[in-house]
Structure 1
């Protein structure tokens, strides 16, 4: 009897090249203010793919973050190569791509620069920084690694978007604008690159905290409007990325998948 059940094969990426662009992001002036850089989706994707046998290359401007992530992954004998790079700079991205040997089976673009401030008050330099990092960065990264993606029999690009790009967050309007732009970029990339056997999708994340960490007060009203009554954990978003990058999702192309605990499924302001 043939089973109709389809499950993700966690051996699928064993020995294959996975490239992740950005491990973390600067949160000094973001919606959840703190010092330094916030280590979330990119690092979680690196851990997950490495745990499941992939050869991971991860780019980030912070050498400190990369060193710590490499040490953590090497504890369980995972394969990871780190490259210090400006992830929105075409020359740095082309240099990083030139260091890769062989095909790339999956590219994950985790660019994130959630700058707070109204569009009226943000100066032109900050707005340009936001667009370059969150919208042009994924485009530049994909173009840089495209020759390697074309070498694989089947490959995928996954952009990390945000539900703020679907709805719009007035606290971080430049971020919302750029993440919103990823949606049609995903559509046109999927159309153009399908002829090479490359699928392109977007995972739209919501608020994220590390499991066990306290929830910042800025997240409280958002949690109240979320059916699951909590933020996502980084690994949950990474699992969605793994799924959509794998052959289990071979007919999923050009879509934006919300990973938000059901929040955008409810009309804002109506949840009692």
Structure 2
């Protein structure tokens, strides 16, 4: 049986690109997310290309029961999970003084606690699979600060810290744990940011996208495929000595870290 990869947030954007890339390399992929329709679309693409995919819909990373049931369904269909990609996330924006505790808890719950919960639930399976790989999709917001997304920055910094701590705990097991930190990437999540900017500033969507692209020294948005290609390297045999790293995919916006 092919090695089994479990991808959260697999229906759109970066998660979708990663799922398709993993399937293209011969992995069987569990597509986890809350909404069935986009997951089924990705599964259809994978299966049309001759790959294996299982749709794990109703998968809410803040719901312990949903996590447990989704994992059980995936393992029953495709066997033990060897590769975990934590990609589920949300990034609502607001000035710090207008960020409610409800928003704070929601953002931290999905981006940080969700990563913790899914990883903890899947770790026994990853151990059994052997030579496991855990990749957390963080953000350049996990390496630096941005205005109006304090909760998101705090959560993604937490994801990077969790990545480094777990990498050391698992260093002698053959399991590697890394974070990939994209800069502004051309995804539906970025479209939400563009809509917020246009609503508050009156700039056009093209002007808003251009302002975000300027954060990248290459003067462009990162593509989801570029993030997926980085993930492919990290889950491959050639990256077995790479663990505990937070790799920025951002055209030079962030250096070091």
**Pairwise same-fold verdict (TM > 0.5):** yes
Alpha-carbon separation, structure 1, partners of 2:152 and 2:206: 19
Question: What is the distance in 1 between the residues matched to 2:173 and 2:31?
Answer: 24
Q: Is the 8 A contact 1:17 1:54 kept in 2?
A: yes
**2:158 corresponds to:** 181
Q: Is the 8 A contact 2:112 2:158 kept in 1?
A: yes
Task: Find the residue that maps to 1:105 and give its secondary structure.
Answer: strand
Runs of 4 or more consecutive aligned structure 1 residues displaced over 6 Å after TM superposition: none
Give the aligned CA root-mean-square deviation in angstroms. Answer: 2.0
Q: Is 1:44 aligned with 2:17? A: yes
Alignment of 1:13-162 (within 5 A): 15-24=2-11, 39-84=12-57, 85-99=59-73, 100-101=75-76, 102-162=79-139
* SS at 1:177 equivalent: helix
CA gap of 1:116–1:153, structure 2 versus 1, over 3 A, is same
Give the gaps of 5 or more residues in structure 1.
1-13, 25-38, 267-272
Give the Cα separation in 2 of the matches to 1:216 and 1:124.
33
Match of 2:197 in 1: none
* TM alignment of 1:187-226, pairs within 5 A: 187-209=164-186, 216-226=206-216
> More helix by proportion, 1 or 2?
2
C-alpha contact 1:207 1:219 (8 A) present in aligned 2: no
Measure the CA separation in 2 of the matches of 1:18 and 1:40.
17
Instruction: Look up the SS of the partner of 2:60 in the other structure.
Output: coil
User: In 2 relative to 1, CA 128–65 (structure 1 residues): closer, same or farther, beyond 3 Å?
Assistant: same
Q: In 1, Cα distance between the equivalents of 2:206 and 2:140?
A: 19
SS at match of 2:186: coil
Count of residues in Structure 1 that have an aligned counterpart in Structure 2: 237
Counterpart in 1 of 2:202? none
Cα offsets for 1:115-146 (capped at 9, x unmatched): 11122212211111111100000100101111
* Distance apart, 1:264 and its partner CA: 1.7
For 1:169, the equivalent position in structure 2 comes to 146
Match of 1:251 in 2: 241
CA pair 216-149 structure 1, distance change in 2 beyond 3 A? farther
CA distance in 1, matches of 2:211, 2:81: 41
- For normalisation by structure 1, the TM-score amounts to 0.82
Counterpart CA distance in 2 for 1:68 and 1:52 is 19
Given that 2:142 and 2:157 are in contact with CA atoms closer than 8 Å, whether structure 1 keeps it comes out as: yes
Shift of 1:228: 2.0
**Residues 161 and 179 in structure 1, CA contact (< 8 A), matched pair in contact too:** yes
